[in-house]
Amino acid sequence: MYDFLIVGAGCAGCVAAARAAAEGHRVLILDRSDADSLGHPWVNGVERSVFGRLGIAMPSGEETMPSPLSSRLVSPSGRHYIETTSSPTVEVRMSFFARRLLRDAVGAGAEFRGGVRVSGPLLDSERVAGVRTEDGEEIEARVVLDASGWEAALRRGLPETSPVPREIEESCMVTAWREQRRFDPGDAPDVPSLLGIPPDVNVSRVGWRGGYSVLMMHWDPRENELDILVGYDRDKSEEPAGEFVCRFLEEKGVGGRRHYGGGGLIPVRRSLDVLVDHGFMLAGDAACMVIPAHGSGVASALIAGDLAARTASRCLREGDTGRENLWEYAARYQRGRGALMAYFEVTRSLTADFSPEDMDKLIGYVMTPGDVEAGLRAEPLGIDLKDALRRLRSLRHPLFTARFAFHAAAAVSLKKAYEAYPERYDPALLEEWRARVARARRHLEG
């Protein structure tokens, strides 16, 4: 029997495995990919500060992409934009980074088995006692971590009595795609003009197709390389983001050779309200840990993996891996990172509620470069609400002003609710907390 069994060799899973193995526990990581093909060919912006905080070496070399000279957050109409010349994030090539994290975990003593598809949890009454593979193998463990991504191979198979939500609403799913294309020198000069972007400036147009949507493009003149990202609500279009990118570039007359890129579905919402059960923990996309402000969940996953391993290690030493003892992980995550995620979930509801004209006003008259950088750092925005409302009233748009004030108040209320997440498992306390969150969310839902 293993002490700690982890499904999913992504950021959360590998960090948790490395930390637990270093404490002397018997750790197994399972993944459907083998070690050489592990990780998505996807570039993610990750907060620089998280690496030092967790003692993880900063990505470098082939793990990273060069940063642009500046970045612009552009309103849907293109009339307004906010420009920043520094970035609190590093652009990480996830496949290379994930493989390094796996090497670190194996180096710390964890065992890895690739090419394994998990069909569901192995249950002993209400306790998760291991996993069952699609080949029929049963692998027992004292603690199981579901870090299998948004498909949540284990979470969906929990018993009905579990307080962990087994399903999530389809409306939170975003289809996203990011790729890099390189061009021959003779073709390269035409690319920025064909796309209508300046060279070496990361241009991100938000709300470009209504709702929660972004179109980002960056032309690197040094590498003759185009970096393009598209993301939008899946329920607004049946066209996957990857197909849209191909069609968009073809219509613009832009060719090139794709040398890196990928995408898929991302759950963009606050984290699930319960992250543990008897012998069971959740982290990463399986727990919906993507920051809604920018759609990246890497830093959240790294933080969660570290917290999960610390809690699991303590519980294993104490010989008690029940829901009540594992609850420390849920409380520490929700009161910290989870509170920030709840705060930034307002950005998703805001873009759904605001028209493109409203978003123009927000970017043109309310937000500042400091707010953009704060969002990338996953920090509360520094918007002076009184000053913002004064400026908005001068525009004589009372309905927009009222909606903005509504969302700003809801963001603060949600953050405070998560900062008061129950420190211990108690069904009555949990229901009281859920009711508080529901009251705050009613502001967002009108």
pLDDT in tens, the chain (446 residues): 999 999 999 999 999 999 999 999 999 999 999 999 898 899 999 999 999 999 999 999 999 998 898 999 999 989 999 999 888 899 999 999 999 999 999 999 999 999 999 999 999 999 999 999 999 999 999 999 999 999 999 999 999 999 999 999 988 899 999 999 999 888 777 899 999 999 999 999 998 887 788 999 999 999 999 999 999 998 888 899 999 999 999 999 999 999 999 999 999 999 999 999 999 999 999 999 998 877 899 999 999 999 999 999 999 999 999 999 999 999 999 999 999 999 888 777 777 777 788 888 888 877 888 878 877 777 776 655 566 556 555 555 656 666 677 777 788 889 999 999 999 999 999 999 999 999 988 766 65
Contact between residue 417 and residue 440 where contact means Cβ atoms under 8 Å apart: yes
Q: Looking at residue 186, what is its pLDDT?
A: 82
Residue 175: which H helix or E strand, with range?
Answer: strand 173-182
Q: Looking at residue 261, what is its pLDDT?
A: 95
Q: Looking at residue 385, what is its pLDDT?
A: 56
Matching CATH topology for 2-64+91-167+271-338 and 171-267?
no
**Pairing outcome for strands 201-206 and 70-74:** parallel
Q: Looking at residue 443, what is its pLDDT?
A: 63
Q: Looking at residue 247, what is its pLDDT?
A: 97
Q: Which of 204, 147, 174, 185 is nearest to 6 (CA)?
A: 147
Contact between residue 281 and residue 131 where contact means Cβ atoms under 8 Å apart: no
- Written as six digits, the tokens of 344 are 């930034």
Q: Looking at residue 86, what is its pLDDT?
A: 84
Q: Looking at residue 238, what is its pLDDT?
A: 87
Q: Looking at residue 364, what is its pLDDT?
A: 84
Q: Which of 117, 127, 99 is nearest to 40 (CA)?
A: 99
Q: How far apart are CA 93 and CA 181, in angstroms?
A: 14
Contact between residue 267 and residue 150 where contact means Cβ atoms under 8 Å apart: yes
For the structural domain made of 2-64+91-167+271-338, what CATH number should be given? 3.50.50.60
Residue 145, amino acid: L
Q: Looking at residue 396, what is its pLDDT?
A: 58
**Model-level pTM?**
0.93
Would you identify the CATH topology of the domain 171-267?
D-Amino Acid Oxidase; Chain A, domain 2 (3.30.9)
Query: In this structure, what DSSP letter does residue 365 have?
Result: I
Q: Looking at residue 286, what is its pLDDT?
A: 97
Q: Looking at residue 292, what is its pLDDT?
A: 83
Domain ranges of the chain: 2-64+91-167+271-338, 171-267, 343-444
Q: How far apart are CA 179 and CA 225, in angstroms?
A: 10
